[in-house]
Amino acid sequence: MATFLQQLINGISQGSAYALIALGYTMVYGVLRLINFAHGDVYMFGAYMGFYLANNKWIQSNVGTSTAGAVVVMVGAMALSAGLGIVIERFAYRPGRSGARFTLAFWLGIVGAGIGHLVHPSLISLAIGALGGILVGVILEQTGLRPVRQNSRLSLLIIAIGVSLVLENGGQQVFGVDPKFFPQIISTTLWHVGELTIDSQKVIVLAVSILLMLLLNLFVKYTRTGKAMRAVSFNLDAARLMGINTDRIIALTFAIGSALAAAGGILVSLLYPKIDPLMGIMPGLKAFVAAVLGGIGNITGAMLGGLIVGMAEVMAVGYGQSTYRDAIAFIILILILLLKPAGIMGKGVVEKV
């Protein structure tokens, strides 16, 4: 019984981290009907941003390494990741929707920066390369090379896979291939309750996740922007006709989702401090499973799905089936989808003929 309770605690904290990532998947899916495969890599990015902020001398000396420091690291990483989310949306997904400008300039800028760095590994040649790439991109765009409006969901999915690959490979390039160790930004205490050992880190993970989810729920339910978000997710075209700036709402959705993923990244890094550029792949996939499990597009469903997946995984490991760990989430998913094809909280879509 004590083992079970112990595993339950581990499961809830692991699950709440999955839930945070799953929220981003489900929100983006809600507004764009897109499986944003790059989301798991945003989670990785968030963890790295946390790592660099926590090791930043200025923050260490001016804010300190106490709770305030941890909050600054967390909020900073969330803000940076939100920025990344907006950039991804603007240059990878929006061009296919409404032909956004400077798309080519952006991507060629990255290519140029890479080439510049390859020619001579210094910041100046990197900047020159980036400027060259941007210039070529702008000129090509002036000649009439514009992104094509996307009709196919599959090509949008390939774009998502492409962005995910850019982040993974770019992460290996920028952050280095070797794993890094996430600093203990919050000191650990162990509480003993009867036979149970409760790790304060796990409590923090749980508390922060619940707080963030609560804030998200309040935001989506009770603010005007939240209402607009729900409207966009209900019907994008109708929302635009009602005067909602849909591009802005979609960007905001990406920002919030990415910030939550970053929070998840930092919280998980508190529990498992090893971070590497490919760390987002598996959690991203499982969080996506969690989102589908709960009924994709449904915020409460994503939280529930995250808890179920996290719990099942921890239980499987705790009861000696650790080699099956990566399969557990999918097995549950398939079982639930066989019973409820739209997920636990998802509403079945009535097909119009």
Query: Rule CB under 8 A: which residues touch another protein?
Result: 29, 33, 35, 92, 95-96, 103-104, 107, 110-111, 114, 117-118, 145, 147-148, 150-159, 161-166, 169-170, 172-173, 177, 285, 288-289, 292, 296, 323-324, 326-327, 329-331, 333-334, 337-338, 341-343, 351, 353
Q: Is 188 helix (H, G, I), strand (E, B) or coil?
A: coil
Whether the CB-CB separation of 299 and 343 falls below 8 Å is answered with no
Q: What minimum distance in Å lies between the beta carbon of 281 and another protein?
A: 8
* Least Cβ distance, residue 201 to another protein (angstroms): 28
Nearer residue to another protein within complex by CB, 41 or 262? 41
Question: Residues 6 or more apart from 170 whose CB is under 8 A from it?
Answer: 110
In the chain, at which residue ranges do the beta strands (DSSP E only) sit? 180-181, 190-193, 196-199, 274-275
Alpha-carbon distance 150 to 262, whole Å? 29
DSSP count for the chain of H helices, then E strands:
15, 4
Closest to 246 measured CA to CA, from 263, 233, 265? 233
Min separation Cβ 186 and another protein, Å = 32
Residue identified by tokens 């080519």 is: 104
Nearer to another protein, 3 or 155 (CB): 155
In whole angstroms, how close is the CB of 317 to another protein at the nearest point? 13
Smaller CB separation from another protein, 36 or 258:
36
| Residue (of 26, 39, 1) closest to 304 by Cα position | 26
Closest CA to 263 of 87, 76, 83, 54: 76
Measured in Å, how far apart are the chain's first and last C-alpha atoms?
Answer: 54
Residue nearer to another protein on the CB measure, 244 or 290: 290
Minimum distance from residue 232 beta carbon to another protein (Å):
18
Q: Which two tokens stand for residue 151?
A: 């009709």
Nearer to another protein, 170 or 179 (CB): 170
Q: Output the smallest distance, CB 112 to another protein, in A.
A: 10
State the Cα–Cα distance between residues 62 and 28, nearest whole angstrom. 37
Q: Tokens 């794993």 sit at which residue?
A: 179
What stretch of H or E contains 59?
Answer: helix 57-62
Q: What minimum distance in Å lies between the beta carbon of 271 and another protein? A: 23
* Secondary structure letter of residue 109 according to DSSP: H
Contact call for residues 31 and 232 (beta carbons, < 8 A): yes
- State the Cα–Cα distance between residues 57 and 351, nearest whole angstrom: 58
SS3 of residue 353 by DSSP: coil
Q: State which residue, 59 or 296, has the beta carbon closest to another protein.
A: 296
Shortest separation between residue 277's beta carbon and another protein, angstroms? 9
The tokens for 183 are 């600093």
Taking the complex as a whole, the smallest distance from the CB of residue 65 to another protein amounts, in Å, to 32
**Measured from the CB atom, is 64 or 348 closer to another protein?**
348
Nearest to 214 by CA among 263, 148, 265, 170: 263
In the complex with another protein, the residue whose CB is nearer, 132 or 183, is 132
| Closer CB to another protein, 54 or 126, in the complex | 126
